Structure 1
Amino acid sequence: MNTSNIHVFAKWQVKEGQTEKVLALLKTAAEESRKEKGNLFYRVHQSIAEPDTIILFEGYTDEAALNEHRSSTHFQGIVIGQIVPLLEKREVILTTPLD
């Protein structure tokens, strides 16, 4: 198993008219995610040019911490259960920082 830190870049294209609802749900998901033992940071960004585009920048201590995050109640219930249905498109890129 990889023991390096893992950074996640998630780009969400929100369905028209749903951005405020997604941001409200994401506030709770972010707060809960930041409490996780293996979470290094969880930052939410909104595109200036395309306000319906949300970028998440997350950091985890290792692959196990990321897996724990993905199986958490708040991730499954809020992100998968409530937010994903409000998205047009969802792209997730996993990286290992080089510096």
Structure 2
Amino acid sequence: MKDIFSALWMRQKNTLEQIFKTPVLSGIKWSDVESLIKALGGEVKEGRGSRCKFLLNGSIANFHRPHPSPDTDKGAVVNLREWLESIGVKP
């Protein structure tokens, strides 16, 4: 994973760091989260309505895209953090 992290753009590194901050941040742009997943070699699959799947390192996570605000809420950030940790992704 170290090689992948070195290939991330500064904005993607910042997004990863924000996801792992304590206390949990709200207001992380969903588009930045999707960009991070793709940069890590993952895929973003569209579902019905606001549903989407992230596929990374052989693992799948289901999320609801925030709306009408583009900002991710704290609960989604916690879920995202837990999923990333479970597949070995940490800042």
TM-score between both structures, scaled by the size of structure 1: 0.29
> Whose radius of gyration is greater, 1 or 2?
1
